[in-house]
Amino acid sequence: MTLRPALLATAVLLALPLAACVHAPAAAPAAKPLTTQEVLDASTPQDWRPLDPENTLYVQLESGMVVIELAPQFAPEHVANIRTLARGHYYDGLSINRSQDNFVVQWGDPAGDELALRRPLGGAKAALPAEFSRAAEGLAFTALPDVDGWAPQVGFVDGFPAARDPKAGRAWLAHCYGVVGAGRAMAPDSSNGTELYVVTGQSPRQLDLNITTVGRVVVGMERLSVLPRGSGPLGFYTEESQRVPILAARLASEVAPEARANIEVLRTDTATWQALVESRRNRRDEWYVHPAGHVDVCNLTVPVRAVERKPAAP
């Protein structure tokens, strides 16, 4: 599946939330604080990283592609199971069954609790341990100095918004816009990756430490966030015809290299990232008259960009 045109436009949009030309010439380091655009313009190739094909899931909708970066460092068992499900084409032909305003969009097997009707899992596991948090040790955690009411500390790990409790020695993904989690029932260990949701509204941080998060949408959020809200409880669609088909879901590693989305994500462990965070904490764009002096972990969108594909050898 080739998806570059849509991705290009989308990636540019995501990379520049306040818009501007992505090809603007690199600015020389300025004495004054930089705007976000100036930080991006001055970024170097080393400030960006490609996605690992083993951690990249392409979800094909009729409206186009959604690209999810998986986070095995936070939910190794769930991510391994999602890889197995994707390799077995488990998600193909399932659907988005829920869109709740200012909360989440959720997809999976429309058979729901009707176990007899549910699609077999193939080689995937039906039961997994809950992975609500992990040991903070061993994670490259770039902490924000900014206060957070939900956790002792927030920051970024490999481009994912995250939280940390130094006393407990635990870390977890923060439920920010675009974060993907594994739906569960009452039992904390009742998720297995067959049912996935993505945050489409104000960050529902109350879900942190209550459910397993598995990654985040890096491209294509606007294909999910606009889905009509369901009129049933919790925003579930009440008519089968309202469900949005998932045409296919593939790991990038299962797709021919020339057909993969050539996108890069800004690294969050660099001086460029620190400069970008500061440009969001205190907006220097001419329009602003009152720099906030603060930024919320969920108000920081990690830039994504499309990169030119190297021409194939003749």
Site for a copy of itself in 171-210 (CB under 8 A): 176-178, 183-186, 188, 190-191, 194-195, 197, 201-206, 208-210
CB–CB of 309/4 below 8 Å?
yes
Stretch 8-27: interaction string toward a copy of itself, x if CB under 8 A = xxxx-xxx-xxxx-------
Q: Is 5 in the site for a copy of itself (CB under 8 A)?
A: yes
Q: Which is nearer to a copy of itself, 260 or 303 (CB)?
A: 303
Count the Cβ atoms, other than its own, within 10 Å of residue 177.
19
Interactions with a copy of itself, residue window 25-64 (CB under 8 A):
none
Print burial letters for 21-33: b (CB count within 10 Å at least 16), e (below 16).
ebeeeeeeeeeee
Q: Is 74 in the site for a copy of itself (CB under 8 A)?
A: no
Shortest Å distance, C-beta 108 to a copy of itself: 7
Residue 155's nearest CA partner among 292, 51, 290, 295 is 295
Which amino acid does the sequence have at 63?
A: S
CB–CB of 252/58 below 8 Å?
yes
Shortest Å distance, C-beta 14 to a copy of itself: 6
Q: Which is nearer to a copy of itself, 219 or 260 (CB)?
A: 219
First to last CA, the chain: 22
Q: Which is nearer to a copy of itself, 2 or 30 (CB)?
A: 2
Shortest Å distance, C-beta 217 to a copy of itself: 11
Among 117, 226, 259, 309, binds a copy of itself (CB under 8 A): 226
Burial class (CB in 10 A: 0-12, 13-18, 19+), 254: middle
* β 196-199/170-173 pair status: unpaired
Shortest Å distance, C-beta 48 to a copy of itself: 21
Q: Which is nearer to a copy of itself, 133 or 268 (CB)?
A: 133
The enclosing H or E element of 51 equals: none
Stretch 94-113: interaction string toward a copy of itself, x if CB under 8 A = ----x-xxxxx-x-x---xx
Q: Is 155 in the site for a copy of itself (CB under 8 A)?
A: no
CB–CB of 159/265 below 8 Å?
yes
